Amino acid sequence: MDAQNKEVAALIEKIAGLQSAIAELPSLSPSPEVDRLFTDLVTACVPPSPVDVAKLSPEHQRMREALIRLCSAAEGKLEAHYADLLATFDNPLDHLARFPYYSNYVNLSRLEYELLARHVPGIAPARVAFVGSGPLPFSSFVLAAHHLPDAHFDNYDLCGAANERARKLFGASEDGVGARMKFHTADVADLTQELGAYDVVFLAALVGMAAEEKAKVIAHLGAHMLEGASLVVRSAHGARGFLYPIVDPEDIRRGGFEVLAVHHPEGEVINSVIVARKAVDAQLSGPQNGDAHARGAVPLVSPPCSFSTKMEAGALEKSEERATKELAF
């Protein structure tokens, strides 16, 4: 066995051990033991790795799928816990940074916006949907407050309790950003005409956790979204595919979209980002077209040049301060 294969085998063994330990926990609610195990898991999965999850054995594929579902359940409990904690403050939005991964959401949302701006020049959406928003819709908040100041956001989640928490924290304001954020309890599979109203749809990483589930959701979006509208899909790459589902760009094409770009971050941001556009001509999504996108030549892109500059980071901090004051209630 060569060095690379040994590295992959050791990583899979470590992740399988962590999955087993997590599955045996009596609860996935935040606790020192839960935090420790998930910290160990993220630490193992985040560094660049030669692992290809598509080549895992059937046993390890089942382990990975079970682990992603455990991660999803734990993430939901973590967000619900912090949503309840934030609700105890007089001005909850002054304390968003108490959530341990808030900066990740800030950076991911900024990256998504900048990729959209690069590949859909002049984009200025009036209506945006975020599918799978959860009890702490940080992504919608960051996008609405800092990047899309004229857009109205409809946040969709299956869980009514999650939406109630989100509405209490982010939707209580009758002016400013809060007035532009609405929350709906619905399954995306039940949305039809509604989807035709949006200029951009964001698909959260944990909506459709198995590959076939994700492909079905994307096909449904493709059947009902407005021609020319943009789709932003969160995916994963390498060992990060043990934390989140990996989306095949071909599934996005088959769903009726033109894939504009795929970006795999290597730093603090864990999720990959795929930017696509609902095909105006049905041929754009099929291999008969013969263009680079149809042949599978996905444009892997580097991050926008301004993404990690100190100047922009400082500007964002100031913008966050302004937005927090505007949203305080």
CATH of the domain at 269: 3.40.50.150
pLDDT at 81 over 50: yes
Q: 264 and 120 in one domain?
A: yes
The per-residue pLDDT for 84 is 96
3-state SS assignment for residue 232? strand
Q: How many structural domains is the chain composed of?
A: 2
Q: 232 and 102 in one domain?
A: yes
> Which of 48-62, 281-295, 306-320 has the largest mean confidence?
48-62
The per-residue pLDDT for 254 is 96
pLDDT at 24 over 80: yes
**In this structure, is residue 166 part of a structural domain?**
yes
The per-residue pLDDT for 290 is 35
Domain range for 33: 1-93
pLDDT at 175 over 70: no
**In this structure, is residue 22 part of a structural domain?**
yes
Q: 78 and 121 in one domain?
A: no
The per-residue pLDDT for 177 is 87
pLDDT tens per residue across span 292-308: 444 445 556 655 443 33
Q: 144 and 52 in one domain?
A: no
Give mean pLDDT, residues 71-95: 94
**In this structure, is residue 296 part of a structural domain?**
no
- Percent of the chain with pLDDT strictly greater than 90: 74
**In this structure, is residue 300 part of a structural domain?**
no
Task: Name 89's Cβ contacts closer than 8 Å, sequence gap at least 6.
Answer: 95
Confidence of residue 119 (pLDDT cuts 50, 70, 90): very high
Task: Report phi then psi at 300, rounded to 5.
Answer: -75, 125
CB-based contact 231:276 (threshold 8 Å): yes
Q: Which of 117-121, 148-152, 208-212, 244-248 has the lowest mean pLDDT?
A: 208-212
Q: 257 and 137 in one domain?
A: yes
Q: 152 and 46 in one domain?
A: no
Give mean pLDDT, residues 205-215: 91
pLDDT at 329 over 50: no
Give mean pLDDT, residues 172-187: 85
**In this structure, is residue 286 part of a structural domain?**
no
Q: 162 and 110 in one domain?
A: yes
- Percent of the chain with pLDDT strictly greater than 70: 84
Give mean pLDDT, residues 34-46: 97
**In this structure, is residue 299 part of a structural domain?**
no
Q: 242 and 150 in one domain?
A: yes
pTM of the model: 0.85
The residue among 70, 93, 116 that closes a domain is: 93
Confidence of residue 178 (pLDDT cuts 50, 70, 90): confident
The per-residue pLDDT for 313 is 36
Sheet holding 257-263, edge to edge: 181-185, 152-157, 127-131, 200-203, 230-235, 272-278, 257-263
DSSP classification of residue 206: T
Can you tell me the distance from the alpha carbon of 42 to that of 36, in angstroms, rounded to the nearest whole number? Answer: 10
Can you tell me the distance from the alpha carbon of 273 to that of 265, in angstroms, rounded to the nearest whole number? Answer: 8
The per-residue pLDDT for 309 is 32
The per-residue pLDDT for 99 is 96
pLDDT averaged over every residue in the chain: 87
The per-residue pLDDT for 2 is 84
pLDDT at 30 over 90: yes
The residue among 74, 93, 112 that closes a domain is: 93
Q: 247 and 183 in one domain?
A: yes
The per-residue pLDDT for 131 is 97
Give mean pLDDT, residues 90-109: 93
Q: 231 and 102 in one domain?
A: yes
The residue among 63, 93, 123 that closes a domain is: 93
**In this structure, is residue 297 part of a structural domain?**
no
Angle CA 146–82–169, to nearest 5: 50
**In this structure, is residue 275 part of a structural domain?**
yes
Please report which helix (H) or strand (E) contains residue 215, including its range.
helix 211-224
